[in-house]
A and B are shown apart, each in its own frame.
Chain A
Amino acid sequence: MAFRDSTVIIIETGRTVVRAGLGLHDLLKTPTVEVSARVGLRKNAFANGADANKSSKAEDPLASTSRASSLPQNGHRNAAVKDYLVGSHLDEALAADPEIAISWPFADGDVRDWVQAEAIWKHVLFTQLQRRRVQNESPVLLAVSPGLSRETHERICQIFFERFNVAGFSILELPVGQIYAANSLSGVVVDIGHEKTDITPIYEGFMVRSARSSTSIGTRDCVNYLAHLLRANQSVMSAISPPDAPLDADAVHSTLCEIVDQVWKEGHVKVPSDGETAVTEDDGVTDIAAVMVAGKERALIESGMKKRATAKASAAEQQRAREIEALDLITIQFKSLSLTLGKERHRFCEPLFDPTLLRGITLNVATTPKSAAEMSLSLQDAVGHSVSQTDVDQRQYIWGGLFVTGDITRYVKGIGVALQSRVAPFIVTPDLQTDVQARVVKVLNVPEYFPEYRDTGNGFAGFLGASIVAKITFNDSGGKNFVSKADYTGKGPRSVIEMAPALL
């Protein structure tokens, strides 16, 4: 049995974001649906809401392990799928009533609460993608965090068949999809998330499970760090918190974080390689190759256009423009304010490579600074360590595919190259005569021949990989790589273990 390409649904369930799309096209499309992987529960939905929250939290076995995320998890044992608010409904409700209890059911890299998980998937399938439960002709390919137990996979399969009535179902583990999207079978996937970074070495299409790791450092730390740095910027501070109407400390921090979010999402941040403290802009000679490698082509073209435009302006203006360029200033529109930022914005990614920078930064009253005990490994140490857990003869192939993905790579280019320059201690000299030890590190990127993905960096790699797998899986007339309705009726949830080749 094969399915029509237009009915296939791909869902990528990450730790903090869920992406989905309907239909496979000749040119694989970017996801049409992107929602935060969070649900909200109104406090007044249950009379004893507050008490129940506490007790159910204590019951959660995962909350006590070190895998647990610090994102909130508030469940209610009597809450049903329909009680939870998801996506735009939640955003609207939050705007009206901040007293809503938020939960992130996937933040641990596992499923913390099945009802909440179902609420999110249901929202994606039936509200966003407009499927109908009674007549659901769509097969679903679900990409999930790696290393879930068999029970979890079976239960997911059960939900999709019994609650959503899907026509076919298969599961893919995210890192495998991500490395496929980079057109490789071996490599190490570094997925920089909101608060965690997952590192997965993959060899010949199979994850080296025992070498997987994650480190508690993510985009959130970068945002906090840059927000902290911006406090030293007088012009910004006086703009958001004027002396005559000062904001309190919490509000200052959250405003700064919003500014930082806007800055990096607009692509104003560059990443210096090891040894450079800040990017130096060379005006005269333009080394195209180097620029391409660093992924800065767009920034360069823009600055070229800016130069052309300024050529017409008066000499005085030119002088001023040159000054701005030398200082590497940008001006952003934040709400009603016009803010000017300098080179400090390029320090955004520094915490990834040196988490000790975060030590002692007091963010706001609610979060205490990270103590030394909860300091994480830097990205380069964590990646090097993960790869050194693999077999000696696999390492050169794994180092041959360093692939950095995650939301941050959509807007901030060059993290891969920056990481490459920092893992040098794990690599032997390139002219060593060896066929075992790793001599080079190659950085992978999503190839150019996916035109829809050209402007998104590596950020959508997981979704792209899942689309590729879906195309192969659901076009296979043998139907051996997914669970069909008949299989499910015959064998039950267990069938997903036998039919999803990636899980074995």
Chain B
Amino acid sequence: MVNYGGDEVSALVIDIGTSSVRAGYAGDDSPKAVIPTSYGYRKESPDGDTSMPDATEPAQSNGRQYSKMYMGQFGPSVWRDGMEVTNPLNDGLIQDFEPATALMRHAIVDVMRCNPSEHPILVTEPAWNTPANRERMAEIMFEEFQVPAFYIANTGVLNAFAAGKGSALVIDIGQSIASVTPVVDGFVLRKGLVYSQLPKLVHAHARHVLANPTPQRRGIDLYPYQLISNKQPVELNAPPRFTLREDRVKGTTDSWRSWYEALEVEEWIQSVAGVLEQGWNDQAAASRPPRQYEFPTGYNCWFTQDRFMVGEQFFNHSPQLTVSNPNLPKTMPALISESLRSCDPELRQVLVGNVVLTGGGSLFAGFGDRLNAELGRGFPHVKIHSPGNPIERRYGGWLGGSVLASLGTFHQLWISKEEWTEHGKAIVGQRCK
């Protein structure tokens, strides 16, 4: 592991995404705390709680509509009677600051065991963040966490920094949003910023593939492990033999169930799904080896061509789908060409030569090669920077923040507590471009 250099202020970096909140020390090469952004809560006061690995799970009282919040690795993912699961982010932007604050506090105080009032904190924001949102964030940092200094930086720029580039076309595939951000000399080219909810569509497609029966197999039950008390090994494609934990099924909420099913789908995608490198071709898809997968119920079967159809949704929408839904999110090629079209022609070649591929969604098997093939049709010199290390790919925004905050030259950019007290909210917009 590498330490990027001495930094005397020991700043912290917090990166809030739809799937997880990442926090760590500036200068490190991976975040110390990674917790899910989704959290569980229960409306009424609990009485029959059975499962609590207590160490990493703070249950905090909250005066609002719910009495208890369950955060962290053992928050939403542990079954609790009547627990709902929700996410404070929408389209990558923080909608509900109260739980977001609690999540950040959990990451810093409980997981990293740090006192936020002793460290300058750098927070990341998506390029489409609103001025009101970033001012609210600054307010939380200074007023609630009492940080000595604060800065908010753009994930597009940070991802370019993480790749060691000042100018780049950053393609970030998150859990809910896919975005294309042109970064030139460390600044976002606003007019070229485009994003869509493409990952959600891909996910919905994958879920559709699994849940619906095909001529070869039945529709698949996506029961999570925690609702299953035991399972028997079964033959290929045979109906699963498993016992549900009846004591739990009754108290399971729909939001927990759908959150967990999304997790099951996500794991299936990571294990089995892929995308063809050279564009869709029935023969090519058929010639690929099939993959076997077993679900928590014990049901197992082979996935053949359909596993490539999932990734194809990133690049092409089938004509039937386009006809029935006029508001489909734009595909990757459409997003990229729209972004490049709004840039000056002489910049386009520079950007295409410095594509940075990042975000957990880009770990889709074959995605980088396919993107290369798609871009190669329109531009002669395409170069895609896509780190092989999944940590660098997933936490690119955090890593860029870690690099930036540990630079000696960055110190003059921090907004100090004195400046905040003196100038108020206006300073955030002036300092953080």
Question: Which residues of chain A have a CB within 8 Å of any CB of chain B?
Answer: 65-67, 109-110, 147-152, 196, 209-216, 356, 372-377, 381-382, 384-385, 388-389, 391-393, 425-426, 428-429, 432-434, 436-437, 497-498, 501, 504
Contact pick for A149, options B1, B52, B114, B234, CB 8 Å: B114
B1 & A213 in contact (Cβ 8 Å cutoff): no
Task: Decide yes or no: A373 and B49 within 8 Å by CB, A66-B59, A209-B33 being known contacts.
Answer: yes
Contact pick for B3, options A149, A434, A498, CB 8 Å: A498
B292 & A433 in contact (Cβ 8 Å cutoff): yes
Instruction: Point out the residues of chain A lying under 8 angstroms from B379, CB to CB.
Output: none
Contact with A along B27-60 (1 / 0, CB 8 A): 0110011110000000000111111111111110
Task: Decide yes or no: A375 and B294 within 8 Å by CB, A65-B58, A209-B32 being known contacts.
Answer: no
Contact pick for B52, options A210, A377, A426, CB 8 Å: A377
Looking across the interface, which residue of chain A has its beta carbon closest to that of B118?
Answer: A151
The residue among A65, A147, A210, A211 with the most chain B CB atoms within 10 A of its own CB is A210
Instruction: Point out the residues of chain A lying under 8 angstroms from B73, CB to CB.
Output: 210-211, 213, 389
Give CA–CA (A147, B34) in the complex, Å. 13
- Top 6 nearest A-B pairs (CB, nearest first) are A428-B294, A214-B55, A149-B113, A504-B1, A429-B233, A210-B34
Instruction: Point out the residues of chain A lying under 8 angstroms from B3, CB to CB.
Output: 497-498, 504
Task: Decide yes or no: A215 and B292 within 8 Å by CB, A151-B114, A385-B74 being known contacts.
Answer: no
B261 located at the interface, meaning its Cβ lies under 8 Å from any Cβ of chain A in the complex? no
Which of B190-198, B224-232, B348-356 is the contact stretch? B224-232
Instruction: Point out the residues of chain A lying under 8 angstroms from B209, CB to CB.
Output: none
Instruction: Point out the residues of chain A lying under 8 angstroms from B53, CB to CB.
Output: 213-216, 376-377, 382, 385
Give CA–CA (A219, B418) in the complex, Å. 52
Give CA–CA (A110, B112) in the complex, Å. 12
Task: Decide yes or no: A384 and B225 within 8 Å by CB, A210-B73, A214-B56, A393-B270 being known contacts.
Answer: yes
B58 & A372 in contact (Cβ 8 Å cutoff): no
8 Å CB interface, B268-301 against A: 270-272, 291-294, 296, 298, 300
Give CA–CA (A388, B224) in the complex, Å. 11
Contact pick for A213, options B34, B49, B56, B294, CB 8 Å: B56
Within the complex, the shortest CB–CB distance from A68 to chain B, in Å, comes to: 9
Give CA–CA (A418, B200) in the complex, Å. 42
Task: Decide yes or no: A148 and B113 within 8 Å by CB, A385-B77, A391-B390, A434-B293 being known contacts.
Answer: yes
Give CA–CA (A210, B74) in the complex, Å. 10
Instruction: Point out the residues of chain B lying under 8 angstroms from A497, CB to CB.
Output: 3
Looking across the interface, which residue of chain B has its beta carbon closest to that of A108?
Answer: B55
Looking across the interface, which residue of chain A has its beta carbon closest to that of B263?
Answer: A388
Instruction: Point out the residues of chain A lying under 8 angstroms from B292, CB to CB.
Output: 432-434
Looking across the interface, which residue of chain A has its beta carbon closest to that of B233?
Answer: A429
Contact pick for A392, options B57, B114, B271, B298, CB 8 Å: B271
A385 & B78 in contact (Cβ 8 Å cutoff): yes
Task: Decide yes or no: A501 and B113 within 8 Å by CB, A214-B55, A372-B49, A384-B225 being known contacts.
Answer: no
Give CA–CA (A384, B231) in the complex, Å. 15
Instruction: Point out the residues of chain B lying under 8 angstroms from A216, CB to CB.
Output: 53-55
Looking across the interface, which residue of chain B has its beta carbon closest to that of A198?
Answer: B55
Give CA–CA (A426, B25) in the complex, Å. 34
A150 & B225 in contact (Cβ 8 Å cutoff): no
B32 & A66 in contact (Cβ 8 Å cutoff): no
Instruction: Point out the residues of chain B lying under 8 angstroms from A196, CB to CB.
Output: 55
Give CA–CA (A273, B28) in the complex, Å. 43
Instruction: Point out the residues of chain B lying under 8 angstroms from A377, CB to CB.
Output: 51-53, 78
Give CA–CA (A434, B292) in the complex, Å. 6
Task: Decide yes or no: A375 and B231 within 8 Å by CB, A384-B225, A389-B77, A504-B29 being known contacts.
Answer: no
B139 located at the interface, meaning its Cβ lies under 8 Å from any Cβ of chain A in the complex? no
Return 13 A-B CB contacts under 8 Å, by A number: A67-B110, A152-B113, A209-B33, A216-B55, A373-B49, A374-B54, A376-B53, A388-B77, A388-B225, A433-B291, A434-B291, A498-B3, A504-B1
A109 & B55 in contact (Cβ 8 Å cutoff): yes
Instruction: Point out the residues of chain A lying under 8 angstroms from B57, CB to CB.
Output: 66
New A-B pairs, 13, CB < 8 Å, besides A374-B54, A389-B77, A501-B1: A67-B54, A149-B114, A213-B74, A214-B55, A373-B49, A373-B52, A377-B53, A389-B73, A425-B230, A425-B231, A429-B233, A433-B291, A504-B1
